[in-house]
Amino acid sequence: MTITQIQENLIADFTLLENWEDRYEYMISLGKQLPMIDSQYKTENYLIKGCQSQVWLHADCQGDTIYFTADSDAIITKGIIAILIQVLSGQKASDILQADMSFIDKIGLKEHLSPTRANGLVSMIEQMKLYAQATLLNTK
């Protein structure tokens, strides 16, 4: 599936949920389904700067395709990174760099996060795109 198709599915899923309590529960369930990150990546080197909670992100590059794993010490934050992984993992680095992440606004996520969590969301996206940029540079 393309990034756009995955985003459209997420928008449809969030639209079905009537209120933000249900949407937070959905995000938490996505976080619980997130595959465990290998403990060797739960170090300072993989910690995303700018997040209120601790979020570790690892990128496994296979050619020009990137597979992300992550973890967080906070359930909402883990749900947020799970959404981003659902959208961007398994995609080509060039597609990740060009991805329009406006689906976040369409599901209303950013406006329902505290300012520090919203900053963390931006930091997560930036880090994923930095991994994509590094992958492109290394495959040339």
| Single-letter residue type at 110 | K
Rounded distance between C-alpha atoms, residue 12 and residue 121, angstroms = 21
Residues tagged active-site: 51
The sign one gets for the Cα dihedral 114, 119, 123, 126 is positive
What's the half-sphere exposure (Cβ side, CA atoms, 13 Å) at 1?
12
